[in-house]
Structure 1
Amino acid sequence: MNIIAIMAGGMDGPVESGTIGRVIEQRGGTLHWFYRRSDDGFPLDIQAYDALIVFGGEVSVHDPALKPYFDDLSALIHRFYAAKKPILGSCLGCQAIAYAFGAKVKPQGFLEYGFTQLTLEDNCQTDPLLHDLACHQQLFEMHSDTFDLPIGAIRLMSGTDVANQAYRIGDNTYGFQCHFEVSPEIVSTWTHRELIDNPSQDQTRVAELFNTVKEGFAQHKDQQDNFATTVVNRWLDLVEVPISIVEETRQ
């Protein structure tokens, strides 16, 4: 499996891809990284690639300065969608996919940070990735933006403070607002990079949140790891058995 991996923010992909990267490696897949900070262009010919993952990051889809970048990324997303090749988005990636399909991405007015209870919608019972999973999941979040649900998308997960948390478009395009892939080490890196000593953040509040997250990992890490491993493996099943083959089999 050759999978394009988009990194629009400042993260180090191989180090910070967490459970997503680990499961792909275990399944024998290869992530081909494309970094915005390195001015990596997007391939016009995707024949050599089997799937697309758009990872998270600290930038905003609605930033006017980044509109050309996210417009080009939208075109790449549509090339994979038209080819019926699986797409997965995490956090910023989830928002970028929503944007590609015409939805508005916008500030939500607060930082959602830490383990959050998310509810699986009833339609998850027949979803290829989420069937047979517990209807309530405690998953890590770190974002200040949200998105409207694209026309035609099926909402899969919802939250109390942020309604749209996961969706599917078509048969194999998925967006997850949460960061189900993270480890305590990754979250520590992100928190130090983006929040600690950031003059725009209340440092007393940041310290309180960071301590709460540490407690959250002690309580929810195993459950989140199980969720992430299941979801990524099921998504890779879609990569290994393309929709076109499934359709031919049904006929």
Structure 2
Amino acid sequence: MTADAPTARPPRRSVPRRRPPRPAPRPVLIVLHQEHSTPGRVGRLLQARGHALDIRKPRYGDPLPETMRDHAGAVIFGGPMSANDPDDFVKAEIDWINICLKEEAPYLGICLGAQMLARTLGGRVYTHPEGRAEVGYYGLDLTDHGRAHAVEAGFDWPATVYQWHREGFDCPPGAECLATGGDFPIQAIRSGPRAYGVQFHPEVTPAMMCRWSVRGHERTLMPGAQLRHLHLEGWYQHDPAIRRWLDGFLDHWLAAETDPA
């Protein structure tokens, strides 16, 4: 009598290992300078990427963090004041940018925020000697550094951008000039791997444009400025390229936050 053959065991099913859930993106610090200011399209696109907005207004007493460890990046927006003003909150913001530079945290300065970055790095902020302003849409030219950066980052810079300023800044020591313009030659800079300053306003929406050009109507009458109706015409012509640039720029700017470990 023969022994029964051993019962064959069913093959083991491999159970896929569950990856631990990725942590939620850290918030982005948003610094605004007027009571009813908003981060506009920049804020909306950051939220679409999963980032909460930590909005602070040092002008009205809000403190700035002592470290950027709890934030994915910081954006300082524009405002009617000057980076040369003696106000305590202006000086405090300029000094605070050193934290971003020291920790190599993503920093984006828009208009006033770019001028503050220049001041932090030892650059000059100035008014035009002939009292000219850039208010409306103006051309943007890339430098060799800017072209190399576009290839590195994988996006194209817009050829025409929306401006609202009557002060400019020199390219500070140690920074790279990425783009130039007309009456105010320095339009975009980078310091180190993750700190940027742009003179133009990629955050602007049609509602913001209408509000600025009504409440600040006198700015549209300054030498070099464009009248209000030209702003809205320029929006339809130039904004699609600005939107594409901003999408690509934010992805590049936040890459260290979103890349898997």
Please give the TM-score of this superposition, normalised by the length of structure 2: 0.80
Q: 1:30 aligns with which of 28, 41, 52?
A: 52
Name the structure 2 match of 1:60. Answer: 82
> In the alignment, what sits opposite 1:177?
199
Paired residues in the alignment total 233
Tell me if the contact between 1:120 and 1:156 (Cα under 8 Å) persists in the aligned partners: yes
CA contact (8 A) 1:10 1:58 kept: no
Is 1:230 matched up with 2:248? Answer: yes
The CA deviation string for residues 43-84 of structure 1, in whole angstroms up to 9 with x for no partner, is 2243322311111111111123x2x22221123211121111
Structure 1 residues 72, 44: closer, same or farther in 2, change over 3 A?
same
**Cα distance in 2, alignment partners of residues 11 and 148 from structure 1:** 30
Q: Quick one: which of 173, 183, 187 aligns to 1:165?
A: 187
How large is the Cα RMSD of the aligned pairs?
A: 2.5
**What's the CA shift for 1:18?**
2.4
| 2:107 is the counterpart of 1:82 | no
What's the % identity of the aligned pairs?
27
| Amino acid of the structure 2 residue aligned with 1:3 | V
Q: Structure 2 CA distance, aligned partners of 1:6 and 1:130?
A: 28
**Cα distance between partner residues in 2 of 1:37 and 1:72:** 10
Corresponding letter in the other structure for 1:4: L
Secondary structure of 1:53's match? Answer: strand
Match of 2:92 in 1: 72
Structure-2 separation of matches of 1:227 and 1:46: 25
Whether 2:213 is the aligned partner of 1:188: answer: no
SS, match of residue 4 in structure 1: strand
Which residue is 2:123 aligned to? Answer: 103
1:104, distance to aligned residue in structure 2 (A): 1.3
- The answer to whether the Cα contact below 8 Å between 2:45 and 2:247 also exists between their aligned partners in 1 is yes
Q: What is the distance in 2 between the residues matched to 1:224 and 1:201?
A: 21
Task: Looking at secondary structure, tell me which structure has more helix per residue.
Answer: 1
3-state SS, counterpart of residue 78 of structure 1 = helix
Secondary structure of 1:157's counterpart equals strand
Q: Identify the structure with the greater strand proportion.
A: 1
> Does the 8 Å contact 2:59/2:89 carry over to 1?
no
Corresponding letter in the other structure for 2:118: A
Unmatched 5+ residue regions in structure 2? 1-25
> Which residue is 1:3 aligned to?
28
Q: Which has the larger radius of gyration?
A: 2
Q: What are the ranges of 5 or more consecutive residues in structure 1 without an aligned counterpart?
A: 246-251
C-alpha spacing 1:129/1:166, structure 2 compared with 1 (3 Å): farther
Q: Secondary structure at the match of 1:5?
A: strand
Contact 1:129 1:231 in 2 (8 A): no
- Does the C-alpha gap of structure 1 residues 83 and 34 become closer, same or farther in structure 2, counting only changes over 3 Å? same
Conservation of the 8 A alpha-carbon contact between 1:9 and 1:59: no
Whether the 8 Å contact between 1:71 and 1:100 is mirrored in structure 2 is no
